[in-house]
Structure 1
Amino acid sequence: MRRLLVLLLALLVATPAAAQVRTGIDVLQQNGFAQLRAVAARHGGKLKLAVLANPISVNREGRRTIDVLRTEGQAAVPGMAVVKLFSGEHGINALTDDMDIDDKVDAASGLAITSLYGRTDAEKRPSAAQLAGLDAVVIDLQDAGVRYWTFQTLTKYFLQACAANGVEVIILDRPNPLGGLAVQGPVSTPGREDYTNAHSEPMRPGMTMGELATMFNAEDRIGAKLTVVRTTGWKRADWYDQTGLLWINPSPNLRSITQATAYAGTALLEGTNVNIKGPGEAPFLRFGAPWIKGTELAAYLNARGIAGVRFLPVTYVPANDKLYPFAGQRVQGVEVLLLDRDRIDAPALGVEAVAALWKLYGATFQIEKVDRLLRNRAVLDQIKAGVDPKRIAAGWQADLNRFKARRARYLLY
């Protein structure tokens, strides 16, 4: 028994405690809202704020950033008032995948919510009319660690619109949930920017939202008056489950850090004729279709020797939801088993999955739709030509190294 107690004590000592990370809203509170007082001073002692938020926009105690700013913030900064709310994809409560998210009223505060997730490009951008009368917009959004996470683009749209209309931008930064060390995947082709490709960057850029915003503002010469309230206590090697912060689903289909890890690669299949997500399933950890043979696909992918993962053949019935392919039909496919997240190159895993589906089921698989998120035609053409995915990944390293050199200028941690 004594030896067992000694062993347990040694394990406890050797196991690092979760970091005491404070996000931007926590730091803002801790500093007595000093950054907001500075912004108010630039506006004659008055500060009319809008807040861009979703369910993750809370402090360590779980209180909404909206409410913290309306109570302690307004008390600490005379002349400050939160007058408006904005929401992006999935809405302010992250409850839906729908594109038709109407403007609403926030029940707790009574403030109007302006939705910026419509069907047209104009409906996704804040307009001059929507920014009229504001002195600053506070953005408190969680990045998912991938380029095609639309909050990156929404943040860039706010930088552009606010710069054009004399409105300041204040970003309350948060840790990258996938850590800030790994920089992986093909760099998107310059000039192909859209709602899932805010900037020429790799699929997994290894940056926080504050760092990304600083890069967008500088490299695109936006010229927004930008303040980043930095996170404290976070180290770039920390994954989200090492921060001590509460996990809150940033979207209906990202329900865990494990799913977020796979999302950095398997999301390439989203929008194709493969089921990759849906209520009741394991989004981004499982994909299938009626024309896939699960045992065949799993055997092929396992034989590839992809670091950190194995593949399990599965059969399942996707939830009966119109948004997802083959809803209500029985499909076969694979489940991705993450064995060692520190060894996984998720974007390379995504390319391996695409290449496998093309090789085995090329007559049926809608490979062209992969470019929607890949945004690198040269890589897609190599996959279609049958080039080995490991060789393809080796080929994008030069572009990746150039991005890393650019990225280094904007790192805050």
Structure 2
Amino acid sequence: MKVLTGLDVLVNDKALQKSFKGNVALLCHNASVDAKFTHAALKFKEIFGNRFIKLFGPQHGFATDVQDNMIETDHSIHPYFKIPVYSLYSETRIPTDEMLEGIDHLFVDLQDVGCRIYTYIYTLTLMLEKCSNKEIEVCVLDRPNPINGIDVEGNVLDLKYRSFVGRHPMPFRHAMTMGEVGLMHQKFWAKEQANYRVIKMEHWSRNMYFSDTKLPWLLPSPNLPRAESTLTFPATVLFEGTLLSEGRGTTQSLEIVGHSKIEPFSFYENHLKSVVQKSKLKGFVLRPVTFLPTFQKQANKVCGGVQVHITNRAEYRPWRLGQLLLREFYHYLGKDFEWKKPPYEYNYTQHPIDIINGTDKLRFWVENNDALDVLDSFEDLKNYNLQLREIKIY
């Protein structure tokens, strides 16, 4: 049965629509569509008319057209809707009093990818914190976690490495929906409570991947054009902390990793193949590839590396695979391997890889060439799993 998102539930329920009195605003992006591919803003104009008074956009913008980190989006007046579009990835990440003026209900309809480093969940929690002393209801139109709501993986963020790609003590793969992130924030992380509501999905279950939902996939950020990319993302996004390419500037972004100093077949056949076999990691195949990034890291240089193909989602552990690949690329490239230098997400002092990992211990693990089973010591998930059980709504 096809999943109905929170937006679909709202669109189909006239009584629910009438329960929202006063003015409404919408935080959304390119992927905010209903089951018929109609954008949420168009449905809000139809449902709420002149009471629909403001739009907000997250990182990458309302139109989801901005490629990179630390590239901000301007505020504007939308040429069709004739209402303000406020960017929450601009001179501010937090909505100002002026932006929130006149709003009674602020809806959030964003497609998350289930990984701690993806910033939309922090745009939500910053909004909740800002609205905690205001008479504004924050209402999430819930959407699927595309890599399922069961599997939790990776280290919990060390708050010494707190940033806009990691604000809260959660593991790398968090197993929550956007609505549940808000509930977790309200119950365990917030100093003050906001007026918060989740419009739940219908027919979604925690074991679902995005392909199981029968929903249309639209890219939630410019380099995730395929739902399959969300499964490779928790592995390949780690390479944002290096000067290797993770495929940005190609048609397979965040599914491939490589460097201009690597010949892919010799790297794979003579080195990586045996390492992967000994690791006993399963559920994927690494395929030697050659690619040419047209922008960002390694731009216009022919790169050799690997593409990650998922063969068994239940066995696949992307965080472990990503750490393994980091370790092997580091030692194979030697002096040609470089960690990315600051700044990263407006942090001008700490290593970008440490910000991404939420700890410096994993960088040392890579550099020391430690055994794969040492990663087990980084996954202290007992407390987080107890918290997760308390806020699950599906």
Superposition TM-score, scaled by structure 1 size: 0.86
Residues of 2 paired with 1:342 and 1:296: CA distance?
30
SS state of the match for residue 91, structure 1? coil
Identify if the C-alpha distance between structure 1 residues 328 and 96 changes in structure 2 by more than 3 Å, giving closer, same or farther.
same
Of residues 257, 274, 278, the one that matches 2:248 is: 278
Aligned partner of 1:199 in structure 2 is 168
Aligned partner of 1:57 in structure 2 is 32
SS state of the match for residue 164, structure 1? coil
Residues of 2 paired with 1:359 and 1:235: CA distance?
41
- Cα deviation code 1:113-154 (max 9, x no counterpart): 111212x5xx22211221122222110001111111110111
Residues of 1 paired with 2:55 and 2:15: CA distance?
19
Of residues 3, 6, 10, the one that matches 1:28 is: 10
- Structure 2 unaligned regions, length at least 5: 340-350
Residues of 1 paired with 2:186 and 2:336: CA distance?
42
Aligned partner of 1:410 in structure 2 is 391
Does residue 97 of structure 1 match 2:67? yes
Equivalences, count: 375
Residues of 2 paired with 1:152 and 1:362: CA distance?
36
- Equivalent position amino acid for 2:156 in 1: V
Segment drifting more, 149-158 vs 55-64: 55-64
The answer to whether the Cα contact below 8 Å between 2:7 and 2:34 also exists between their aligned partners in 1 is: yes
Residues of 2 paired with 1:139 and 1:89: CA distance?
14
SS state of the match for residue 335, structure 2? coil
Residues of 1 paired with 2:98 and 2:241: CA distance?
33
Matches within 5 A, 1:162-181: 162-181=131-150
Identity %: 25
Aligned-residue offset at 1:59: 1.4
Aligned partner of 1:245 in structure 2 is 215
Matches within 5 A, 1:126-141: 126-141=95-110
Residues of 2 paired with 1:264 and 1:406: CA distance?
22
Residues of 1 paired with 2:181 and 2:352: CA distance?
27
Superposed CA RMSD: 1.8
Q: Which has the greater radius of gyration?
A: 1
Identify if the C-alpha distance between structure 1 residues 33 and 26 changes in structure 2 by more than 3 Å, giving closer, same or farther.
farther
- Equivalent position amino acid for 2:301 in 1: Q
- Equivalent position amino acid for 1:53 in 2: C
The answer to whether the Cα contact below 8 Å between 2:113 and 2:146 also exists between their aligned partners in 1 is: yes
SS state of the match for residue 363, structure 1? helix
Matches within 5 A, 1:158-307: 158-221=127-190, 222-299=192-269, 300-303=271-274, 304-305=276-277, 306-307=281-282
Of residues 356, 366, 370, the one that matches 2:328 is: 356
Aligned partner of 2:347 in structure 1 is none
Aligned partner of 2:300 in structure 1 is 328
- Structure 1 unaligned regions, length at least 5: 1-18, 41-46, 75-79
SS state of the match for residue 94, structure 1? coil
Residues of 2 paired with 1:141 and 1:333: CA distance?
32
Does residue 380 of structure 1 match 2:363? yes
The answer to whether the Cα contact below 8 Å between 2:256 and 2:305 also exists between their aligned partners in 1 is: yes
Superposition TM-score, scaled by structure 2 size: 0.90
- Equivalent position amino acid for 2:362 in 1: V
SS state of the match for residue 38, structure 2? coil
Residues of 2 paired with 1:402 and 1:128: CA distance?
36
The answer to whether the Cα contact below 8 Å between 2:250 and 2:291 also exists between their aligned partners in 1 is: no
The answer to whether the Cα contact below 8 Å between 2:161 and 2:354 also exists between their aligned partners in 1 is: no
Residues of 2 paired with 1:288 and 1:105: CA distance?
41
The answer to whether the Cα contact below 8 Å between 1:302 and 1:310 also exists between their aligned partners in 2 is: no
Of residues 368, 376, 380, the one that matches 1:394 is: 376
The answer to whether the Cα contact below 8 Å between 2:117 and 2:165 also exists between their aligned partners in 1 is: yes
- Cα deviation code 1:35-83 (max 9, x no counterpart): x54453xxxxxx1211101121121122222222222245xxxxx7110
The answer to whether the Cα contact below 8 Å between 1:138 and 1:169 also exists between their aligned partners in 2 is: yes
SS state of the match for residue 288, structure 2? strand
SS state of the match for residue 343, structure 1? coil
- Equivalent position amino acid for 2:14 in 1: G
